[in-house]
Amino acid sequence: MTRQNEAGKIHLRSRPVPNCLICGQPGRRLYDNLADRSFQAPGRWGFLLCENPDCGLAWLDPQPIPEDLAAAYTGYYTHDQPAPGPDWLRHFLETAQRAYLARRFGYPPGPAGRWGGLGCAVWSALARLHPGGPDELDSVAMYLPAPSRPARLLDVGCGSGVHLARMQQLGWSVEGVEVDPQAVATARARGVPVRLGTLEEQHYPDASFDAVFSAHVLEHVHDPAGLLRECARVLRPSGQLVLLTPNLESHGHRRFGPAWLNLDPPRHLYLFSPRTLRRLAEQAGLKIRVLRSTARTAWVYGALSRAIQKRGRAEMRELGRPAALLNGLFYQLQLRWRLRSDPMCGDELLLVAQPSSGRGDVS
């Protein structure tokens, strides 16, 4: 159990991690004496960067021991993720998104379909005005094309089930795995089937799923290599893994340094560059089809990193402030422009892969 100090406050027990998970080489100090800037986890934390010039993995050192890590997620945003905005705005966005997904991935057009092909094209064009660009829109369908037959989708670290509920509406047979009991309860209340615990603890049979999705989970686990191997194992030979994780070599990290939101001590245990993510995925038995960076949700990273830089803290509720919204929007548009000349400078990495013995796509 998590220990308490003499004042009754939570104390996270930790352990040193001096060597790189991927190549075994020691790390040099990248950052030190970092506090939790977004929630209330106690302690001071640092990051090491692998000294091997051919590697470049970064990791939290020291790291909370697995038995205590849950205490770092008190009040975490995955507990509940309500649908944002008023009803009319949600309806507008849903109509535009469904039209875009129909043209991009072959899903049913939704409300836009009542205006025919021209109406669908107009609504799809409106969707493309999103500041996050195509990646923001593609992520609505987890970057997955519409299946032409019944297909099973697993979301590893599904939070409160908002995204799985959408994929269920789009025709997938969905299931989630989540370690947060509060988030699991919220997801089940939405009618989404979710199992409590880690992926490994579920003991799914081999080749159980046509697609596995995992957004911003890999950086949170003590054994990211093991998680990728398990994802590869439960995928069918033609299945796809779609994974999102912060990009250590991003423009945001270069600009904000120790104030970069995606450092997120002590919850982010490992931070990957394109090179280290590729190496880890290939070691896990995955064949990489896509590996690039995105500007998706970059307005959040820009707005909150700037707040950390100015005040030392940044909480999600700040995103409702007009100044934060404008700063974030400007950052996202700037990042999209930078991606034109530097495709790997986005704050987020997108990996699409399949078991190395498999062929083809979800069909």
Among 205, 209, 204, which Cα is nearest to 236's? 209
Residue 311: partners with Cβ closer than 8 Å, 6 or more residues away: none
CA distances from 39 to 32, 72, 76, 141, 152 (A): 18, 8, 7, 29, 35
Residue at token pair 């309860």 = 185
Burial of 235 (0-12, 13-18, 19+ CB in 10 A): buried
Residue 220: partners with Cβ closer than 8 Å, 6 or more residues away: 157, 267, 268, 269
Question: What's the pLDDT score for residue 266?
Answer: 97
> Quick one: tokens of 84?
């944002």
pLDDT at position 129 over 50 = yes
Determine if the peptide bond prior to 62 is cis (ω within 30°): yes
CB 60 within 8 A of CB 268: yes
Q: Where in the chain are all domains bearing CATH 3.40.50.150?
A: 142-355
Read off the pLDDT band of 79 (50, 70, 90).
very low
pLDDT at position 126 over 80 = no
CB 34 within 8 A of CB 14: no
Average pLDDT over residues 271-294: 97
Indicate the pTM of the whole model: 0.91
Question: What's the pLDDT score for residue 330?
Answer: 95
CB 91 within 8 A of CB 48: no
> pLDDT by residue (tens digit) across 292-302?
999 999 999 99
* Alpha-carbon span 328 to 147, nearest angstrom: 35
What string of DSSP letters covers 59-116? EESSEE-TTTGGGGGTT-GGG--PPPS-HHHHHHHHHHHHHHHHHHH----GGGGGGH
Specify the CATH class of 142-355 in words: alpha beta
Average pLDDT over residues 166-194: 95
pLDDT at position 84 over 70 = no
> Quick one: tokens of 87?
């009803």
Residue 193: partners with Cβ closer than 8 Å, 6 or more residues away: 174, 175, 176
